């Protein structure tokens, strides 16, 4: 009975989210820019962004339908209990202790990970080698064989990391469940909180360099401007990196990480290449520093992120509302520092170069987007300028 209830909930959520997807798809098909973006975004970029959004939308419908059918089938036909039994049989056949719950769980999760990789591989490859390549984002400028090798190398590295990192975490969680008693929820939350801190520390230092090359931003005017901005805000900047994001994609971004007095800022090389005016890059960094100055990072970190499935969608919706409010506040922070015009130009440039959706459905964006659409961000910046004038 429980499987039918769970499957019913999954299908209901799929129907609801598909309805939102259809609204967004209709928005993608609109032939004109929103009025706020007319004269701001080039017609050529709008046409390319529209085509890219529609391609991704079509692909999402197919992938989503396949996923819900597969997951409902797994639930309704009792595949999970069957797989649990088979993983125990595998342990007996290989001479491991099938009575050990930890070993049994490792075998179960390992087999399920392989199954997930196999079923999702065609979609992942199509997304990377067809959609992203068609629209100019798969930027590995090498023969196709080397491109495919890089794709599978990244995938194997991810699997290897899961094999190394996963077992200790799973073993710890099983032990907590066994010994937690009435305080199980508190112990699990505490464990996940500590694990999040550890991963936030370890990932950028040990894991991210396995996939990308991080080099110090060269001395020059851009570095000086970013360091001066960080110093003026008393941001404890220790290192300033450029990551070779262009080896895989022309998508651009910037982010910061680190605890206490050991902060680092990372710029994608594509961001530097796309923003010809250095002030636009600095304005993007000013926005990110606004998140730090306004304690958005800490608020987001302590938010509840692990919750039972029926409430997860509501909590995610609430967190997205908070996240969008934070983005407006960070934009306003950068604007008060005098980067309003450059931030506006930088946001437009990022929107154009990433071929992000220009037209968005309000219901879809309210439910899915953690960042406000460009139209709303530009309107907020313009409104703030009018109030100051």
Catalytic residues: 288, 331
- Cα–Cα dist 302/271, whole Å: 30
User: Six-digit token pair at 156?
Assistant: 């194997």
φ, ψ of residue 267 to 5 degrees: the values are -110, 135
What are the beta bridge partners of residue 263? Answer: 237
Q: Is 327 annotated to bind ligand?
A: yes
- Cα–Cα dist 119/131, whole Å: 19
Q: How far apart are the first and last CA of the chain?
A: 64
- Cβ neighbors of 356 (< 8 A, separation 6 or more) are 49, 350, 374
CA angle (227, 229, 230) in 5-degree steps: 65
How distant is the alpha carbon of residue 133 from its chain centre? 20
Q: Is 25 annotated to bind ligand?
A: no
User: Six-digit token pair at 153?
Assistant: 């190398």
- Cβ neighbors of 100 (< 8 A, separation 6 or more) are none
Q: Is 291 annotated to bind ligand?
A: yes
**Residue closest to 239 by CA, chosen among 258, 220, 212, 222:** 258
* Annotated binding-site ranges for Zn(2+): 287, 291, 327
* Annotated binding-site ranges: 287, 291, 327
């Amino acid at each position: 009975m429980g499987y039918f209830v769970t499957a019913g909930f999954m299908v209901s959520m799929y129907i609801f989210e598909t309805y939102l997807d259809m609204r967004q798809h209709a928005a993608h098909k609109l032939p004109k820019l929103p009025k706020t973006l007319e004269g701001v975004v080039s017609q050529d970029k709008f046409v390319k962004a529209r085509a890219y959004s529609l391609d991704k939308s079509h692909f999402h419908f197919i992938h989503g339908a396949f996923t819900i059918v597969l997951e409902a089938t797994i639930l309704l036909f009792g595949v999970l209990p069957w797989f649990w039994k088979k993983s125990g049989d595998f342990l007996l056949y290989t001479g491991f202790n099938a009575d050990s719950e930890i070993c049994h769980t490792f075998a179960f999760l390992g087999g399920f990970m392989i199954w997930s990789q196999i079923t999702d591989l065609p979609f992942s490859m199509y997304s990377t080698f067809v959609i992203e390549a068609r629209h100019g984002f798969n930027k590995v400028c090498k023969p196709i064989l080397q491109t495919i090798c890089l794709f599978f190398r990244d995938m194997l590295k991810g699997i290897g990391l899961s094999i190394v990192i996963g077992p200790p975490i799973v073993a710890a969680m099983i032990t907590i469940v066994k010994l937690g008693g009435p305080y199980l929820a508190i112990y699990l939350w505490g464990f996940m909180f500590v694990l999040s801190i550890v991963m936030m520390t370890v990932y950028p230092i040990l894991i991210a360099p396995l996939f990308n090359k991080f080099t110090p931003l060269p001395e020059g005017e851009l570095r000086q401007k970013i360091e001066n901005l960080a110093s003026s805000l008393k941001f404890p900047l220790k290192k300033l990196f450029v990551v070779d994001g262009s080896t895989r994609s022309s998508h651009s971004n910037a982010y910061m990480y680190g605890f206490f007095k050991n902060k680092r800022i990372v710029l994608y090389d594509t961001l530097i290449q796309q923003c010809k005016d250095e002030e636009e890059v600095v304005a993007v960094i000013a926005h990110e520093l606004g998140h730090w100055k306004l304690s958005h990072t800490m608020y987001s970190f302590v938010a509840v992120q692990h919750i039972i499935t029926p409430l997860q969608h509501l909590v995610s919706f609430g967190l997205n509302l908070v996240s969008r409010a934070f983005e407006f506040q960070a934009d306003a922070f950068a604007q008060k520092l005098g980067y309003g015009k450059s931030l506006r130009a930088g946001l437009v440039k990022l929107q154009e170069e990433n071929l992000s959706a220009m037209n968005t459905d309000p219901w879809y964006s309210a439910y899915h987007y953690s960042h406000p659409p460009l139209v709303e961000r530009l309107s907020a910046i313009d409104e703030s300028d009018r109030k100051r004038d």
